[in-house]
Amino acid sequence: MSSTRPSPATDDIPAVTVKGVTKRFGDTEVLQGIDLSVPTGATTCLIGPSGSGKSTLLRCIAFLEEATTGTILIHGDPLGFAEGPNGQRSRLSPQKIRAVRSRIGMVFQQFNLWPHMTALGNVCEALVTVRKMKRSEAEDLGMAQLSRVGLENRAGHYPSELSGGQQQRVAIARALALDPEILLFDEPTASLDPELTGEVLNVMRDLADSGMTLLVVTHEIGFAATVGRRIAFLDHGKLLLNGTPQELFGEPRHPRLGQFLETYLDRGAATLL
Amino acid sequence: MTLDFGLMLDKMPEILSGLWVTLWMWVVSTILGAALGFLVATARRYGPAAVNWFLKLCVEILRGTPFLVQLFLLYFGGPFVGLRLEPVPAGLIGLTIYASAYFSEIFRAGFQAVPRGHVEAAECVGLSRTQILRRIIAPEMTMLVLPQCVNMAIILIKETAILSIITVPEMTMVIGAIGSQQYAFVDAMFLLAIFYWVLVEICGFLGRLAEARLSKFRFAVS
């Protein structure tokens, strides 16, 4: 592990606590009782085969999906639902939900930039509309975020004028502008070709090095192994393994994980493990 | 047959006033129809199921009957239920309601075309439902539906000709009347066709200009 990375923040409360979360779509139980805690100030990677429920879990933590049962805490504060003494859930007020959600940043596989706004406009939108900042102040802050992802000279470009990698970096800047405590990534490089994947992963590596809390759903096993402090392996809606990269990727290896990793080893990622 | 536009030149003031009536009634009913259509589409999408059902029925009736019949019912049928309208207001109301039915369908499709992820991204940065509608969905939808809106405006300018049957003094009525008086009906209709065609071309040109300006907002592809 790199020695330049700062140690996790001193507080013991995890950035995200997931307790007994299930998610049902009709008859399919996509998540079957997940317990997970995401440490503050480090990178946690969620890996697993397609359909294992890792994206659904991330979307539940972003409150884009509502967990069917269970609790999610953001630095100890309940997200969406409060749990009573007998385990019954009651929905929080929209204001409370938004207050907790505003502490989470989300980056999507499809970037989801707003096409009618420039890169800077995308980054500044919530600062002006939600945080009620002055346009000029918001633009200063937005420019700072764009230079953090190396795109200060693309501020006036529309998403259609940017490459996929640049769009994803703008999306990261947009999430960073709100100064979130946790940044969630849902397969951020899955729709990029290998060359563009690198520039996005570099930005994420810098964020990890700066001590941000990242929770990353990814198929980039090399990234997970080198940047991830914790790795969680999901399979068929269950959290099968949860530990450090050494614990998971070292020998002896869990047979199901070994089977999953073989597809990557074929592609030469073995050297990274 | 010889076309004698000299006859028409003497009547230029009347023709110009007809042109003016056509033009302003078209612009006003198009703008009001689009605004009403947007409200209908919004209410259908975000309102209760009963509202959606009722508005859907209204749209189906308006799209399922000829404008000529709707206008007759409004102008000649209105007095039976205490609604007595002058020709110009009746025409304006009739055309606006007729247009709103089509515009609402255009906007309804537009709502569905805005990617779900763009809305989710807005939710994640804390925009409220109305802010998302105003800042994200409405502008994205506008650029998506612009070509259909221009098309609808072109259809509406030709529908204004029907207003002549309830004696709105617009282009078709004025020029038609001149043609009848002068026994030059074909000449009059030919001139009329040219006028409409020029208006349609101007409308199409403005539409293309707007599309070109919006082209850089088009959806980014990865």
Is residue B1 assigned to a domain? no
Residue A61 — very low, low, confident or very high, per pLDDT cuts 50/70/90? very high
SS3 at position A147:
helix
Is residue B222 assigned to a domain? no
Residue A3 — very low, low, confident or very high, per pLDDT cuts 50/70/90? very low
**Nearest C-alpha neighbor of B149 from the set B106, B187, B119, B92:** B106
Residue A1 — very low, low, confident or very high, per pLDDT cuts 50/70/90? very low
What pLDDT, on a 0 to 100 scale, did the predictor assign at position B50? 94
- pLDDT single digits (tens) A137-193: 999 999 999 999 999 999 999 998 899 999 999 999 999 999 999 999 999 998 888
Q: Which of A114, A154, A183 to mutate to test the interface with B (most CBs of B within 10 A)?
A: A114
What pLDDT, on a 0 to 100 scale, did the predictor assign at position A217? 94
Q: Across the interface, do B216 and A101 touch by the CB < 8 Å criterion?
A: no
- pLDDT single digits (tens) B88-102: 999 999 999 999 999
What pLDDT, on a 0 to 100 scale, did the predictor assign at position A120? 94
SS3 at position A24:
strand
Mean pLDDT of B7-33: 88
Is 80 exceeded by the pLDDT of residue B5?
no
Q: How, if at all, do strands A213-217 and A182-186 pair? A: parallel
Output the domain CATH number for residue B192. 1.10.3720.10
| C-alpha count within 13 angstroms, C-beta hemisphere, residue A8 | 16
Is residue B155 assigned to a domain? yes
Distance from CA of B212 to the nearest CA of A (A): 14
Here the ipTM equals 0.86
B2 at interface of A, judged by CB pairs closer than 8 A: no
What pLDDT, on a 0 to 100 scale, did the predictor assign at position B96? 96
What pLDDT, on a 0 to 100 scale, did the predictor assign at position A11? 57
Return the residue of A nearest to B118 by Cα: A112
What pLDDT, on a 0 to 100 scale, did the predictor assign at position B222? 33
Mean pLDDT of A107-119: 93
Q: B147 or A7: whose pLDDT is higher?
A: B147
Backbone phi, psi, residue A231, to 5°: -125, 130
Give the one of A105, A114, A174 whose C-beta lies nearest to B118's C-beta. Answer: A114
Return the residue of A nearest to B221 by Cα: A160
Is 50 exceeded by the pLDDT of residue B134?
yes
> Is residue A82 a contact partner of residue A92, using CB atoms and an 8 Å limit?
yes
Give helix then strand counts, H and E, for chain A. 9, 12
- pLDDT single digits (tens) A40-58: 999 999 999 888 889 999 9
Is residue B168 assigned to a domain? yes
Query: How many domains does one find in chain B?
Result: 1
What pLDDT, on a 0 to 100 scale, did the predictor assign at position A269? 54
Q: Across the interface, do A112 and B127 touch by the CB < 8 Å criterion?
A: no
> Is residue B29 a contact partner of residue B156, using CB atoms and an 8 Å limit?
yes
Is 50 exceeded by the pLDDT of residue B181?
yes
Cα(A15)–Cα(B137) distance, integer angstroms: 32
**Nearest C-alpha neighbor of B131 from the set A214, A127, A261, A164:** A127
Give the one of B120, B125, B219 whose C-beta lies nearest to A115's C-beta. Answer: B219
Is residue B82 assigned to a domain? yes
Give the one of A115, A174, A191 whose C-beta lies nearest to B125's C-beta. Answer: A174
Residues pairing with A186 in the sheet = A217
Mean pLDDT across chain A? 86
SS3 at position A10:
coil
Q: Where do the H-state alpha helices sit in A75-151?
A: 94-101, 119-129, 135-148
Range of the domain at B165: 6-217
Is residue B94 assigned to a domain? yes
